[in-house]
Amino acid sequence: APGTKEEKFKSLEKAGVLNRTKTSDRGKRLRKNWSSSWTVLEGGILTFFKDSKHSAASALRHPSTLTTPEHTLELRGASLTWAGRDKSSKKNVLELRTRDGSEFLIQHDSEQIITAWHKAIADSIGRRGSD
Ligand code: I3S
């Protein structure tokens, strides 16, 4: 029912295709490698599945590319900011830093779509606190 805890929790869940790249692994800088990825936000976990730039035919032959998570991020204790020009020349880029010091950039050409992701991720982080 609307207004219940369950309903609020459900409203935080989100899925879609985003461009993303990992820029740091527990503090160690990585070379950017942008790819398009099916992305799911559920229960305080953000999951990037293997990139969706392969053709549909290829995905049918290799279903694991659609179902194998490439990165699973625990949002508890994470921080989310809009990435500055120093981080990327792309528009609409979010920077997500996990508690273990790993960093990801998340991007979508649509401002409306990236704003919805910003809200969903920030709400999820906010609900889980920082300790
Ligand atoms: O921060 P950088 O090095 O300018 O990031 C760019 C590179 O990752 C580039 O790949 P190469 O290192 O193979 O040149 C990517 O193609 C660019 O997209 C990256 O910059 P943006 O500004 O798009 O994040």
Beta-bridged to residue 106, according to DSSP, are 20, 94
Confidence band, pLDDT 50/70/90 cuts, at residue 59: low
To test the pocket of ligand 1, the residue of 23, 31, 32 to mutate (highest count of ligand atoms within 8 Å of its CB) is: 32
- Ligand 1, atom nearest to 31 Cα: 8
* Per-residue pLDDT at 11 exceeds 50: no
For the ranges 4-8, 82-86, 95-99, 115-119, the lowest mean pLDDT is seen at: 4-8
What percent of the chain has pLDDT above 90? 66
> Ligand 1 centroid to 10 CA: how many Å?
36
Q: Residue 69: is its pLDDT beyond 60?
A: yes
pLDDT of residue 10: 54
